[in-house]
Amino acid sequence: MSRTRRCSRTACGRPASGTLTYVYADQTAVLGPLATYAEPHAYDLCDLHSERLSAPRGWEVLRLAADPAAQGPSGDDLLALADAVREAGRPAPQARVAPAEETGRETSRKGHLRMLTTD
């Protein structure tokens, strides 16, 4: 079940459409597209409160428009996913395990594990 995030403003129940973050070092407020995840130091705002946003005196407000091309997976994402599926579907190569006689002398054994020494 998908839960829609709500505006962070008190008593506002509208769905959030953008995320506000502050860059204190630069005295900048950045309002951009709704973040993928809710962050503790970010504020989700509805359309109404995004339009009415003001910053403290001396601060700059940057409004970042949503990139329509960035909505959904890119061609690179789809190719990476296809490569991962192909790789998972390939049979694992059979590794050749050399017998103890070829690699060294077996000194101890515990279950299916064994310790070999080389001369």
Confidence of residue 4 (pLDDT cuts 50, 70, 90): confident
Over the stretch 53-73, which tens digit does the pLDDT of each residue have?
A: 998 899 999 999 866 655 666
User: Which residue reads 């005295």 in tokens?
Assistant: 27
Over the stretch 26-59, which tens digit does the pLDDT of each residue have?
A: 999 999 999 988 888 999 999 999 999 998 899 9
Confidence of residue 101 (pLDDT cuts 50, 70, 90): low
| pLDDT value of position 1 | 44
Task: Report the distance separating Cα 36 and Cα 71, nearest Å.
Answer: 12
- Residue 7's SS3 state is coil
Q: Which contiguous run of DSSP H or E holds residue 106? A: strand 105-110
Task: Report the distance separating Cα 79 and Cα 30, nearest Å.
Answer: 32
- Quote the percentage of the chain above a pLDDT of 70: 66
